[in-house]
Amino acid sequence: MEQAYKLLAQSKEISNKKAKELIDRGLVFVGDRQLKIARASVPDSTIFRIEMPEDITILYQDEEMVAVNKPAGIDSYEVQDAIEGAELLHRLDRDTSGVLLLGKSERYIKEAIKAFKQRKVLKEYVAWVEGVVYEEMEITAPIHTIKKGKAFSKIDERLGKPAHTVVTPDEVQGKKSKVKIVIHTGRTHQIRVHLASVGHPVVGDSQYGSRTRAKRALLHARKIELLGKTFSAPLPADIKRYK
């Protein structure tokens, strides 16, 4: 037995630091299971598979802003670092793919941040969730986020902040449902915790109760409307069709 990151480093001929980083980013798999703990003890015969995320695709760009299609497996700040002179206007979770907006001019950044604060932004997502969703749901449970270490959100009537999510069914495959989601607020992990709270966690989202194995939480930011412009990202293969 050996610690996973050390064995990965040996088998792929990379540094221990690089191996640990790959595991922490959720890019290392053993069979169909994502390896989540770099220091976990694994058999010496373990065969690792590294799945690097797709390249960042620019959807639209002008002198004031840039819209990109963020692939799953990349942190939003990695996108910011990759685009010189651009500043994130919002964030997507590492596992979430889809439209991500960055500002390039001070004027645009101020206007965009103001629009986000005033909730004048339309944000539409698509996800596969556990269970069968038969009809539209409007979820308004308040959300409280604990940010010590890895962020975690929960429904909390006393400490929570207002949150508003609308979920519309689109397709059913077996005991899984594909849904459209529109959020009118932007709380940390809002979609994930709201869906989990009504018994329909996002498929692959083990943090919020999904028992289905998947390479990632199957959530995609399909469209954002901001300051008179609409930006859309095509559905990736794992969202377009489940299995």
pLDDT tens-place string over residues 155-191: 999 999 999 999 999 999 999 999 999 999 999 999 9
- Contacts with 69 (C-beta within 8 Å, 6 or more apart), sequence order: 56, 57, 58, 59, 97, 98, 99, 100, 233, 234
Provide the pLDDT for residue 144: 97
Q: Helices 4-12 and 16-24: crossing angle, nearest 10°?
A: 120
Q: Where are the domains of the chain?
A: 2-50, 57-240
What CATH architecture does domain 2-50 belong to? Roll (3.10)
How far is CA 177 from each of CA 14, 59, 88, 135, 238, rounded to the nearest angstrom? 40, 28, 31, 11, 13
- Contacts with 80 (C-beta within 8 Å, 6 or more apart), sequence order: 86, 87, 88, 102
Length of the chain: 243
Residues of the chain with pLDDT under 70: none
Provide the pLDDT for residue 52: 77
Q: Which CATH number fits domain 57-240: 3.40.140.80, 1.10.10.10, 3.65.10.10, 3.30.2350.10?
A: 3.30.2350.10
Q: Is 93 a catalytic residue?
A: yes
Contact present, 201 and 209 (Cβ < 8 Å):
yes
Alpha helices (H) in the chain, listed in sequence order: 4-12, 16-24, 76-82, 106-117, 190-197, 237-240
Q: Encoding tokens for residue 183?
A: 């959020």
- Contacts with 114 (C-beta within 8 Å, 6 or more apart), sequence order: none
Provide the pLDDT for residue 230: 98
**Whole-number Å distance between alpha carbons of 127 and 170:** 10
Q: Per residue in 206-235, pLDDT tens?
A: 999 999 988 899 999 999 999 999 999 999
Of the residues 93, 95, 205, 238, only one is catalytic, namely 93
